[in-house]
Amino acid sequence: MFMSRPLPPEAITAIDATSTFAPAPQLVEWARATFINEDAKLFNPDHFHLNSASLGILWTNVSNTRKGRSIIGQCEEGKPSGMMGKWGKARAEEQIVGWFGTIPDFIITIDALYAVECSDAEFCALIEHELYHAAQERDPFGAPKFSKSTGMPIFTLRGHDVEEFVGVVRRYGADATQIRALVDAANAGPEIANVRIANACGTCQLRAA
């Protein structure tokens, strides 16, 4: 079934917005129907383990920067850290259950103001970027790990494949900076044509209508 790309609510994006976070169940449904389910329009087998994961997604209008860069998306483990203390953890869990009805395996937060303005391809890239962070744990041999008691995947957060300064790459090249795989992937061109993104996403088509 076709699902156009969900947009954040006006309560988040309006100039006089008072809400700062809003659950996005439609975006979870869209992400599954677009990337995760085996019959998804832009199915990616790298996300197959997420069929067994519970996901919670939030829209936000809170500006976020880190080390001089704007943050437009973030993936976190759903269960609050024990470092918060018992009261802090209990308070956070109550808030999460209030949003999602349960404690999901992962919580993804998306900048609502960016989501309103970005293209379909940029939006798809952002959502898939965060889904890649929602990973399955691996054993020392690289095989996916499963719980011995339940048989379910063991989930973890995954870091970026590549993190390097453009200037260093410019000066020393792809091989010296260990990003050859990334360069080769970029040179090969996108696997997904823009027309497929438009058919799976629909927002730009709606704007043009």
pLDDT tens per residue across span 161-175: 777 778 878 877 888
- Residue 82: partners with Cβ closer than 8 Å, 6 or more residues away: 89
- How many percent of the chain have pLDDT more than 70? 91
- Whole-structure pTM value: 0.84
Answer whether residue 4 is part of any domain: no
Is 134 part of a structural domain of the chain?
A: yes
Mean model confidence pLDDT for the chain:
86
Q: Can you tell me the distance from the alpha carbon of 19 to that of 116, in angstroms, rounded to the nearest whole number? A: 16
Q: For the chain, how many structural domains are there in total?
A: 1
Q: Residue 161 — φ and ψ, nearest 5°?
A: -70, -35
Residue 136 belongs to domain spanning: 10-208
Q: Is residue 5 domain-resident?
A: no
- Asked if the structure places residue 3 within a domain, the reply is no
